[in-house]
Amino acid sequence: MTEPCTSKRKWDQFVHVSHKAVQTQMEIDDNLGLNMKDTTPAEKTFRELQEDLRKIHAKIVEQEEIFMKERAKWEAENRCHYSKNEFFINRCRWETEYKKRHFQSVYEYRRKAVKDVPRFWVTAMYANKIIRKEIAKHDQDALEFLKDIKSCRTDDLKGFQLEFMFDSSNPYFKNEVLTKKYELKDGGECTFLMAVGTEINWYPGKTLTESIEKMTIGSEVVQVVQTCQSFFNFFATKTHRTSLCLDEDADKLEGNIIPLDYAIAVILRDDIVPHAISWFNYDEEGAMDEED
């Protein structure tokens, strides 16, 4: 499989959306203000669908702007009442409840809108230059079966979890949901990070995180299993011994060394999940090339 193509070429590859995809779009709630054009399924082009996706993303951005103002207001009213750690937990509790009320429905609309868009999530992820480095060529076919990515706080509110939802027709592994959970463990003045991932149940001969290599031992040639580059290594369970602390604003973890998988998880949580439509239509390398 070739690398995910740019937005312009991607949309030019297709002329019409399937009847099923258009019907899904027409069911999107009028509260989003999409003002869908009065076209039949046969007339609905991917460019028109792309415009509808832009409007959904605009709704998400609008909600985010309101959220930031409301969060600033909450912080001003409550910061003086808590220690740094208490402030972090209580703000996480407030954010969780707020996002359930104001973001959950619009993310569901987006999920329905993109489910028939070819390679939506792998293209959005690949547009980010840090995540791109972790996606091997042999990963891309499997990532085409990725239907949605969700983010939520852990039960104790100190950590967070990412959920990757895959189509049941995925021929690479049996799991329909892969998760990566980051739990924060108190260690006095610092916080230690536990990264707990799903064990992937690969189909025979489909393991993307391993390769079979031939090796000569004495006079014999044997086959050995070696770990290879793959985005799916992200789901490995790890204990990060590096101590991390909340920053001055109790907004994020910081330290001398930030584990790569944690940095990727934060990008997915804060950038890719909320702004997936924008990333789908954007390429960091391409944008930088144009600027240069």
For each of the chain's 292 residues, which pLDDT tens digit applies? 444 544 444 444 333 333 333 343 444 334 444 444 444 433 457 677 778 888 899 999 999 999 999 999 999 999 899 988 788 889 999 999 999 999 999 999 899 888 878 899 999 999 999 999 999 999 999 999 999 999 999 888 888 999 999 999 999 999 999 999 998 777 666 667 889 999 999 999 999 999 888 777 777 877 777 889 999 999 999 877 767 776 666 566 777 778 899 999 999 999 999 999 999 987 555 443 333 3
Q: Where are the beta strands (DSSP E) in 63-189?
A: 146-153, 160-166, 177-187
The confidence score (pLDDT) of residue 31 equals 45
Kindly list the distances between the CA atom of residue 198 and the CA atoms of 60, 161, 226, 230, in Å, as whole numbers in the listed order: 29, 11, 20, 15
Predicted local distance difference test score (pLDDT) of residue 251:
62
pLDDT of residue 286: 44
pLDDT of the residue at 49: 79
> What is the predicted pLDDT for the residue at 257?
76
256 burial via Cβ count (<10 Å: 0-12, 13-18, 19+): exposed
Task: Report CA torsion sign: 270, 263, 187, 83.
Answer: negative
Conformation bin of residue 226: beta by default, left when phi > 0, alpha when psi is -120 to 50: beta
Q: What is the pLDDT of residue 245?
A: 74
**So what's the pLDDT on residue 285?**
54
Alpha-carbon distance values, 109 to 148, 206, 230, 279 (Å): 12, 33, 31, 17
Full-model pTM: 0.78
pLDDT of the residue at 249? 63
